[in-house]
Structure 1
């Protein structure tokens, strides 16, 4: 029996996912924020925060989104959790199209899709106790617990490494790492299937980051969680990810499994990002060439035509300015959007050029 047979919001013919199957599918996901001016507030432009993303997330895996500030990582996370309304594209979760689902229909799905916010100081209400904060999901979703909400909250606090005695305390009484644990406990309350973690450790001390990262990994194994991790620290990403998607100016420029991406990056932008990762071994550090990108990130209001990275790329040629390279698979499980990929065989280079000729991207300049 397919999902559509029992759920009117389901996509016809799609079967409920099992272990190893797709949990989330994104196609041409787009979010443009309009710019309005004048007395009549007419639209004079748009911020192209996210522009045509395609990827899937398999049950039980961790997919990380990385890139510079302003590349659209956080906006993507908010689109996946439907905290923002997409401008275009399609989001399918467990066979159900949730792209433009109403708030009423989304409410039951909030149990399955939750978010860990970046700022452990701003994401907790300072006027509420820890018990009220962590217990809020039970109240909002009208979920009955076996031994009462207080007992359930205390068990969650223990689960994330806090004391049940913290139930009646307020957020200002905790450190940053403890506040993030409170946020994680709230996220886990309804046992979600998908968690979007928006830079969950970036606001924490380095000594605390490892503890929170290890906690997230332990919880994933215990509850069979699926993560979409948003981060800019590539050292953390390498430790926690199964696959990594590199974003630049609202687009995915490379998508690969962790090992392939770190050992043989194919997009010049990915290579530049990896060259900036600190290496504790001085011998290895001296042998590595640091790639310094020239110029600032272009404005998402008016991004460069064709390949958006060509204004800062040392390999850019004329074709990069007129034909957008499509995101294609150049090696098993390794996709890249570049006319002249790094670490590529002659066959892979030929594949990239042929793809540009037969299937140019949406931003290609029309003659």
Structure 2
């Protein structure tokens, strides 16, 4: 992983509220708080895994980063430039450096276009000319992702799901981006194909010095591919840590519950593990619970959890957690950057 004093990507208190309107005049009567004040950095060359239950705001976060949707508030920095409210015209050259792999390999490819047209589209849109022509460049990219260069004139319906996802990855790599947002890149694939695509992403990262934000709900996939992991719950980041720290010593009760559901092949280890079953449904993002949003389902919740929102506090190790009563915390108080003490 490349080290740099300045993060490639930085989000500060980013929010996305989708308005709810009513009546003929479209009067706003509320808002869906899909992303509600998240902050994190992504270093060059690393893979940040973004995990959480369906509806927690993961995909919305990915679309905010790539500016496919407009943020309501906050700041998004890419390579030191503020892109939060950058116009589409100014964003166009930046899109060479930021690309997205979409979740569904069936709906993300135009069935009327050939593979050559799909993978070659970024060259045409950005007006990029290559030394030996677009066709040669596209065939080289197809070979890079494990496809036959002779597939150039074939159509998406002629390929399997795994092959289609490779076509999507090839299109993403066409202009050699610096940052790739992978939104559930293997969830629509068979298990055997998932491993192939994950290994492909890792090989491409090492070869091309790519930076990934991998959005997923499969914690096993995230553990395999990520350097750091951020856990989302109901529009908020509740924990961020290095992969090893988070999987071996989770601190937020929500993270602990998620990890307790991950299948373990070792029968002896599985026998000694307690499965934590969360009670109730995920609250509505239209009217989320006050203070700690997890307190309605948390077995450790006390009065302070219902009245005071816990800050995303940081330990000396870099482990960050938003919880008044974190698990597995070292002796002493955990402090956030403002100096607010959180009981361990």
TM-score (norm 1): 0.91
Pairing 1:321–2:306 present: yes
Contact 1:19 1:60 in 2 (8 A): no
Q: For the aligned residues, what is the CA RMSD?
A: 1.5
Contact 1:330 1:348 in 2 (8 A): no
Contact 1:323 1:356 in 2 (8 A): no
Kindly provide the CA deviation profile for residues 130-185 of structure 1, in whole angstroms up to 9, marking residues without a partner as x: 00000000000000011000000000000000001100000000000000000000
The equivalent of 1:340 in structure 2 is 325
Kindly provide the CA deviation profile for residues 215-266 of structure 1, in whole angstroms up to 9, marking residues without a partner as x: 0000000010000010010001011101000000000000000010001000
Please list every run of 5 or more consecutive structure 1 residues that lacks an aligned counterpart in the other structure. Answer: 1-16, 359-367
SS of the counterpart of 2:333?
helix
Distance of 2:271 and 2:118 partners within structure 1: 49
Instruction: State the Cα distance separating 1:355 from its structure 2 match.
Output: 5.5
The equivalent of 1:176 in structure 2 is 161
Instruction: State the Cα distance separating 1:282 from its structure 2 match.
Output: 1.0
Distance of 2:25 and 2:65 partners within structure 1: 32
The equivalent of 2:114 in structure 1 is 129
Kindly provide the CA deviation profile for residues 29-82 of structure 1, in whole angstroms up to 9, marking residues without a partner as x: 100000001111100000000000110010000001000000000000000000
Distance of 1:32 and 1:185 partners within structure 2: 33
The equivalent of 2:27 in structure 1 is 42
Distance of 2:313 and 2:304 partners within structure 1: 17
TM-score (norm 2): 0.97
Distance of 1:282 and 1:155 partners within structure 2: 45
Say which of 219, 224, 233 aligns to 1:234: 219
SS of the counterpart of 2:200?
helix
SS of the counterpart of 1:222?
helix
Instruction: State the Cα distance separating 1:356 from its structure 2 match.
Output: 5.2
Pairwise mapping of residues 165-314 of structure 1 onto structure 2 (< 5 A)?
165-314=150-299
Contact 1:20 1:59 in 2 (8 A): no
The equivalent of 2:85 in structure 1 is 100
Distance of 2:182 and 2:44 partners within structure 1: 16
Contact 1:267 1:342 in 2 (8 A): yes
Contact 1:325 1:356 in 2 (8 A): no
The equivalent of 1:152 in structure 2 is 137
Contact 2:250 2:327 in 1 (8 A): yes
Distance of 1:348 and 1:171 partners within structure 2: 56
Instruction: State the Cα distance separating 1:212 from its structure 2 match.
Output: 0.3
Distance of 2:110 and 2:250 partners within structure 1: 42
Contact 2:101 2:181 in 1 (8 A): yes
Contact 1:20 1:60 in 2 (8 A): no
Distance of 1:69 and 1:208 partners within structure 2: 22
Contact 1:65 1:231 in 2 (8 A): yes
Instruction: State the Cα distance separating 1:342 from its structure 2 match.
Output: 0.3
Distance of 1:308 and 1:34 partners within structure 2: 20
Pairing 1:138–2:123 present: yes
Q: What count of residue pairs does the alignment treat as equivalent? A: 340
Distance of 1:126 and 1:37 partners within structure 2: 37
The equivalent of 1:14 in structure 2 is none
Contact 1:81 1:113 in 2 (8 A): yes
Contact 1:120 1:180 in 2 (8 A): yes
Distance of 2:129 and 2:311 partners within structure 1: 49
Kindly provide the CA deviation profile for residues 275-300 of structure 1, in whole angstroms up to 9, marking residues without a partner as x: 00000111110100000000000000
Contact 1:324 1:356 in 2 (8 A): no
Contact 2:3 2:43 in 1 (8 A): no
